[in-house]
Amino acid sequence: MKKIIFIPALLLLLSFNSYANLRLICEAKNTINLETNEFGLSSGIDYYEVTELKNKKVTIKKDGLGVPFVGLMDEASIQGKVTYNLSGFEKTFYQTLSINRYTGEIKSTFSIGQESGGLLHTGKCTEAFKKF
């Protein structure tokens, strides 16, 4: 009798989707213009919330950006991209990001009107924890 109750309970637990949230604070350090190869120092902090879905897929919400990145996460990296249009602008905006889960290094691109080119920002991410 105990086995009959245990098996359905175990199957019920296994059927729920596992959603894990990872919160990151990322600080920009450098920017490279990919079209001119100009290099400059950057400053700024971005907050990301990574939500793990099924099959290594993730959504990545960037604070202040209304559209989430869509991508993949594995043991070593988190990667995502987003495309959006803004009211009053004719061109499409493209952003990508890649975060090394071991070192915390982030590379993110931003371009307008075409997927390639634009700016490459590099920096460092740390896991964010509630302060209070």
List, for residues 73-86, the tens digit of each pLDDT value: 999 999 999 999 98
Separation of alpha carbons 59 and 67, rounded Å: 10
pLDDT-derived band of residue 33, with 50, 70 and 90 as boundaries?
very high
- Close Cβ partners of 99 (under 8 Å, ≥ 6 residues apart): 24, 26, 77, 78, 79, 105, 106, 125
Identify the pLDDT of residue 20: 62
In degrees to the nearest 10, what's the CA dihedral of 43, 33, 118, 59? -40
Predicted TM-score (pTM) of this structure: 0.81
